[in-house]
Amino acid sequence: MFTLRPARETDRAALYRICLETGASGQDATHLYADPLILGHVYAGPYLTYALDFAFVLEDKGSGEVTGYVLGVPDTAAFEATLDREWWPPLRELYPDPVGIPRTDRTPDQRIAHLIHHPPRVPQDVLSGYPAHLHIDLLPAAQGGGQGRALMTTLLDALREAGVAGVHLGVGENNTRAQGFYRHLGFQELGRAPGSVTFGLPLT
């Protein structure tokens, strides 16, 4: 039914679409965003551009469509620095900083624009033990059949082979299904912030 393969540049549009269609705590976020690309610019695009060796996709054998991905980076601090230099500046021209609009009045697009202008930093105590991070999203038709585990195993093996000590991830606090999946795979909760939970897994 599915083939798992390394991602390539021509997958970019599919990755952006999957990112949007799973972007509301794992559910379709298409209706929430005026700009269908804004989520992908943050959570999919830069991984394909700067960490292609750690990007894998699931392809439906019948249709040839990409139906899921896992995107990782081995060194989050270096990735953040690269994005500051190269990725965010052109996006800041496209999406104005919603400065002056109270947080509670911001639209979903404006909340993402805020992240583009003020990307959050992963705390040093997380980075020291878990320098890598990842995102994984499967469309509904690909969920629940072992493909999420297969994608994770492929990425975690690639990170281990690169000598990475550990991997962390952030998940929405309402996304209890994904949280159960991560716990089942051995991730442990590292901390909570309003709206999100951080998990970590040692790799050595």
- The contact set with ligand ACO (CB under 6 A) reads 22, 26, 135-138, 143-149, 169-171, 175, 177-178, 180-181, 184
DSSP character at residue 138:
E
**CA dihedral sign of residues 190, 197, 12, 61:** positive
Tokens 């549009």, residue? 13
30 versus 92: smaller Cβ distance to ligand ACO: 30
Q: Closer to ligand ACO by CB, 58 or 83: give it.
A: 58
Q: Provide the minimum distance between the beta carbon of 100 and ligand ACO in the complex, in angstroms, as a whole number.
A: 30
The CB-of-102 to ligand ACO minimum distance in angstroms stands at 27
Residues 42 and 175: their CA atoms lie apart, in Å, by: 19
Q: In what order do the strands lie in the sheet with 55-60?
A: 2-6, 55-60, 66-73, 132-138, 166-172, 196-202, 188-193
* Least distance (Å) between residue 67 CB and ligand ACO: 10
Structure tokens at 117: 């202008």
The residue at minimum Cβ distance from ligand ACO is 148
- CA proximity to 25, closest of 196, 185, 155: 196
Whether the CB-CB separation of 33 and 113 falls below 8 Å is answered with: no
Nearer to ligand ACO by C-beta: 26 or 46? 26
DSSP string, 98-114: -TTS-GGG--HHHHHHH
Measured from the CB of residue 124, what is the shortest distance to ligand ACO in angstroms?
20
48: its two tokens = 């394909």
Is the Cβ of residue 76 or residue 175 nearer to ligand ACO in the bound state?
Answer: 175
Q: Which residue lies nearer to ligand ACO by CB, 116 or 133?
A: 133
